[in-house]
Amino acid sequence: MCRVLIASPYQADREFLKRLFGQYFFNVTFLEDALSAEEAYQHSLVKQPDMLILDLSGSSNDIFHYKTNIVKRYPNVKVILLDDEENFKHIQTGIRCGAIDYLVKPLDVEECKSAIHRAILALNQVSLLHYERKSVTDTIKESASQMMQYVHEHYNEEINLDLLAHFMHLNKSYVSRFFKETVGMTFSSYLRHYRIEQAKKLLRTSELTITEIAEQVGYPELTYFSRIFKKETNLTPNEFKQIFQGEHTPADLAFAEEMSAK
């Protein structure tokens, strides 16, 4: 489930974005709307957003202060920025502090779809934007949502395609084909990728040992975990931890703070 927080003083823009989500994406829930960056920050203290769509229109530089604090609190949140007109300073700050995209009004459907699609993929979730069939039915959305929820809730257990098929009450061959067509990779590949992404987060942000992290993401055998991790990242878990521990996000938060102080 992708939790989306929309922060804009303009009701029309908020409604436009919600209609677009409803038409082209799935497995999305909206947090309470915010009318400003400060309000968005207050909402984020109550419930964690996965995606923040933040309107910069007519704002002061304080807006990046609140945005930066949200990212500090939730390092994996994906941010899309909106603006009334192209503003070089906003573009520069947005890029430097890790925004997924910067969109100028009037909002364009295709540009918004593309930005949201990339944000959802960056969250290691599935987007049905480019699903091969002509239309994405509610049945397809519901089935994909259930499969992804199952993986995200049980990735640290000993799960396989047989268990997923049993959970879905569907034929194993059908589930295998549907998963690959919808997600773009096989069930086993996605499970491996998702587990390694969770391991990378723990290596960056926790004090757990590598053995403990391996067990937490579903790999009770340390040697096997290390081999899979290196295959996915070209680094051993220990090398990754030494390089990236303490790095929450690729955003240049120091730059954002400096800009917001001006």
pLDDT at 8: 94
pLDDT at 251: 43
Residue 255, H or E segment: helix 253-261
pLDDT at 146: 87
Nearest of 173, 2, 180 to residue 76 by alpha carbon: 2
pLDDT at 74: 82
- Strands of the chain, DSSP E: 2-7, 28-30, 51-55, 78-83, 101-104
Instruction: For the chain of 262 residues, list the mean pLDDT of each consecutive stretch of 10.
Output: 92 95 84 93 92 83 81 85 87 77 93 90 74 65 84 92 94 91 84 89 89 96 95 90 66 43 46
Q: What are the angstrom distances between the C-alpha of 126 and each of 42, 76, 129?
A: 28, 16, 9
**Where do the domains of the chain lie, and which CATH numbers do they carry?**
2-129 (3.40.50.2300), 138-244 (1.10.10.60)
Maximum Cα–Cα distance across the chain: 60
Q: Which residue has the tokens 């997924």?
A: 100
Residue 79, SS3? strand
